[in-house]
Amino acid sequence: MAKNRSAPELDRELASLPPDLRWREWLRRIEAVLFASASPVARDDLARVVGQGASVDLLIEDLAAGLADRPYELARIGGGWMLRTRPAYAAAVRAAADAGSQALDLSEFDLAVLAAIALHQPIGREGLKEMFGREVSRDLIGRLHDRGLIATGPRAPRRGAPHTFVTTETFLAAFGIESLRDLPDPEQMEEAGLAAP
């Protein structure tokens, strides 16, 4: 007879604990979930491990404050949070760990296409062709899609309308930004000589 491997019911309320220990346990649960996740975790998902009276936002604030002197930090990415190494320790991680599989390893042109998609999304292949004066290969679009950096966006409501592309939460996490509002303004990039008018 097979064993029942279903997880026991999670005691979210922790009513048997005094308030300070209950808060500390909820804080540890949120940290454990974030530690185990490779992608940002939404507020609703974090709320599943704490009691109904607990404020996820206050727990997040406490966790962030508790990590202030640690080599990793709590980052808001898209619609959720994740733990990540502070930039000051990136060289140490690269020197000691095999972090090569996590590197984006994109060419300058690949990054330019990715930036164009981020700044002008949703944008189709024709729009990219106009921007770069040449066709953007399906191979490049496929690689960016396979890495989860872009996804297909909305199509015009007509038959045969071309696909458009948008960035994803993986894109936000890879570049350490909370939302697309954190991207530089295209006009500022032009003024700095980083983009063509």
Q: Would you state the pLDDT for residue 32?
A: 96
Work out the pLDDT band at 196, boundaries 50, 70, 90.
low
String of DSSP letters for the chain: -----PPPPP-SS-TTS-HHHHHHHHHHHHHHHHHH-SS-EEHHHHHTTS-TT--HHHHHHHHHHHTTTSSEEEEEETTEEEEEE-GGGHHHHHHHS--GGGS----HHHHHHHHHHHHH-SEEHHHHHHHHTSPPPHHHHHHHHHTTSEEE----SSTTPPPEEEE-HHHHHHTT-SSGGGSPPHHHHHHTTSS--
Q: Would you state the pLDDT for residue 38?
A: 87
Average pLDDT over residues 121-150: 93
Say whether pLDDT at 65 is over 60: yes
Work out the pLDDT band at 35, boundaries 50, 70, 90.
very high
Full set of structural domains in the chain with CATH:
19-90 (1.10.10.10), 102-191 (1.10.10.10)
How far apart (Å, rounded) are the C-alpha atoms in residues 22 and 18?
6
Residue of 153, 181, 167, 169 lying closest to 113 (CA atoms): 167
User: What percent of the chain has a predicted confidence (pLDDT) above 90?
Assistant: 60
Higher pLDDT residue, 118 or 97? 118
Model pLDDT for residues 100-129, shown as the tens digit of each residue: 555 678 889 999 999 999 999 999 999 999
Q: Would you state the pLDDT for residue 157?
A: 79
Q: Would you state the pLDDT for residue 110?
A: 92
**How far is it between the farthest Cα atoms of the chain?**
71
Higher pLDDT residue, 159 or 189? 159
Work out the pLDDT band at 99, boundaries 50, 70, 90.
low
In DSSP terms, 119 is beta-bridged to none
Work out the pLDDT band at 3, boundaries 50, 70, 90.
very low
Q: Would you state the pLDDT for residue 194?
A: 52
